[in-house]
């Protein structure tokens, strides 16, 4: 499998702008706060522009028409593609945003661009260590996946100063990922690769496995029919399912421990061994990774593909979580 790491100013600019707008629950508002600390408060013109952008981003949210498929792929002909996808008034708004926010973006881009170049070199140098055939085989079996992997392109994006990378995305189409790493600690190379595998599992194994997709649809319908949809943070059940299945593997699940010796037990010790009450609602990613990792181990070590029994355990833990946990 060939992995290409790319740094695009265009992609980073629109990543920057989109995180200034509270348009989706996945937006990292702590990025916005950090960047404002670096560049100063919003002007009145900027605030008005952000309000208009919110409707645009919501209209072209994640999915087939996702705005990022134009702007985060960082192509040279980005405005030509934008003209084919968006209306004339939307293009006018986007060009206005480019003029309004570019100066603010440039105040931090020179530093982040350099940091991303350092990360690109480190990721390229460590790829043989963190991309193994045995890991790919485990994923193939678990998802009953039969398509050979060829190439993956990863766009490296800005983030705030933090111990580990904050995350990434798998919304740009098959074989395209984003990874937010610029100001993560220099030593956080293993967490960065674990996020890579989390996002790539979403992007390829989950998306392309007809077995998995049929199971997910059937199980999601079952959860809705039983009135369980949206019990956690008003997040749709289908999205919860996709996340918790991968969370049982990466970045703090069984495959992280098996292939990269990641100390998953140490991560969960801070919640109290065996004490679910120490989790908060906001910790749902941790909770499901914690409760499903041993089941994932059983499936992978015994060469079993994910099936409805695995989903039934998700349901059991989902009901437990939604009943017993309170917001912090």
Average predicted confidence (pLDDT) for the chain: 90
Q: Are residues 43 and 174 in the same domain?
A: yes
- Domain range for 272 is 209-326
Q: Are residues 146 and 41 in the same domain?
A: yes
DSSP β-ladder status, 151-157 and 176-180:
parallel
**Contact, 177 vs 153, CB < 8 A?**
yes
Residue 274 is predicted with a pLDDT of: 53
**Contact, 205 vs 175, CB < 8 A?**
no
Tell me if 192 is assigned to some domain: no
Tokens of 24: 């989706």
Q: Are residues 214 and 319 in the same domain?
A: yes
Tell me if 226 is assigned to some domain: yes
Q: Are residues 43 and 172 in the same domain?
A: yes
Q: Are residues 57 and 154 in the same domain?
A: yes
Residue 275 is predicted with a pLDDT of: 52
* Domain boundary, last residue among 139, 160, 180: 180
Tell me if 26 is assigned to some domain: yes
Q: Are residues 162 and 213 in the same domain?
A: no
Question: For 226-262, how does the pLDDT look when each residue is reduced to its tens digit (9 = 90+)?
Answer: 888 777 767 788 888 999 999 999 999 999 999 999 9
Tell me if 188 is assigned to some domain: no
**Contact, 153 vs 175, CB < 8 A?**
yes
Residue 327 is predicted with a pLDDT of: 46
Contacts 24+ apart (CB under 8 A), 107-111: 107/38, 107/39, 108/35, 108/38, 108/39, 108/158, 109/9, 109/12, 109/13, 109/158
Residue 247 is predicted with a pLDDT of: 95
The DSSP secondary-structure symbol of 302 reads: T
Q: Are residues 143 and 216 in the same domain?
A: no
Residue 256 is predicted with a pLDDT of: 96
Q: Are residues 153 and 246 in the same domain?
A: no
Tell me if 263 is assigned to some domain: yes
The DSSP secondary-structure symbol of 179 reads: E
Residue 150 is predicted with a pLDDT of: 82
The closest alpha carbon to 171, from 64, 74, 56, 25, belongs to: 64
Tokens of 287: 């909770």
Q: Are residues 123 and 213 in the same domain?
A: no
Tell me if 190 is assigned to some domain: no
Q: Region 42-63: what's the mean pLDDT?
A: 96
DSSP β-ladder status, 2-6 and 176-180:
unpaired
Residue 137: pLDDT over 70: yes
**Which residues of the chain form beta strands (DSSP E)?**
2-6, 151-157, 167-169, 176-180
Residue 328 is predicted with a pLDDT of: 43
Residue 273: pLDDT over 60: no
Q: Region 53-79: what's the mean pLDDT?
A: 92
Any residues with CB less than 8 A from the CB of 1 and at least 6 apart, and which?
131, 136, 149, 150, 151, 152
Helix (H, G, I), strand (E, B) or coil at 17: helix
Tell me if 272 is assigned to some domain: yes
- What is the domain count for the chain? 2
Q: Are residues 18 and 142 in the same domain?
A: yes
Q: Are residues 154 and 259 in the same domain?
A: no
Burial class (CB in 10 A: 0-12, 13-18, 19+), 148: exposed
Q: Are residues 175 and 224 in the same domain?
A: no
Tell me if 195 is assigned to some domain: no
């Amino acid at each position: 499998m060939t992995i290409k790491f790319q740094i695009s100013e265009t992609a980073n600019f629109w990543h920057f702008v989109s995180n200034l707008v509270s348009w989706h629950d996945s937006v990292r508002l702590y990025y916005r706060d950090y960047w404002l600390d670096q560049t100063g408060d919003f002007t009145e013109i900027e605030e008005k522009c952000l309000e208009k952008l919110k409707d645009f981003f919501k209209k072209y949210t994640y999915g087939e028409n996702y705005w990022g498929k134009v702007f985060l792929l960082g192509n040279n002909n980005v405005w030509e593609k934008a003209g084919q996808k968006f209306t004339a008034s939307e293009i006018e708004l986007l060009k206005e945003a480019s003029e309004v926010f570019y100066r603010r973006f440039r105040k931090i881009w020179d530093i982040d661009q350099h940091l991303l170049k350092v990360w690109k070199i480190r990721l390229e140098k460590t790829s043989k260590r963190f991309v193994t055939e045995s890991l790919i085989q485990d994923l193939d079996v678990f998802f009953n996946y039969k398509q050979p992997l060829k190439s993956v392109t990863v766009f490296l994006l800005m983030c705030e100063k933090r111990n580990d990378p904050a995350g990434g995305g798998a919304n740009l189409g098959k074989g395209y990922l984003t990874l937010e790493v610029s100001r993560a600690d220099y030593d956080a190379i293993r967490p960065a690769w674990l996020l890579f595998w989390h996002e790539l599992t979403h992007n390829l194994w989950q998306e392309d496995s007809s077995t998995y997709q049929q199971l997910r649809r059937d199980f999601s319908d079952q959860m809705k029919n039983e009135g369980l949809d949206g019990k956690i943070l008003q997040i749709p059940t289908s999205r919860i399912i996709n996340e918790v299945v991968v969370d049982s593997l990466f970045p703090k699940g069984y495959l992280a421990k098996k292939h990269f010796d990641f100390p998953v037990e140490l991560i969960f010790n801070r919640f109290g061994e065996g004490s679910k009450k120490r989790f908060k609602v906001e910790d749902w990613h941790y909770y499901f990774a914690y409760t499903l990792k041993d089941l994932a181990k059983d499936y992978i070590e015994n060469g079993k593909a994910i099936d409805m029994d695995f989903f039934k355990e998700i349901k059991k833990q989902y009901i437990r979580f939604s009943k017993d946990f309170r917001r912090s």
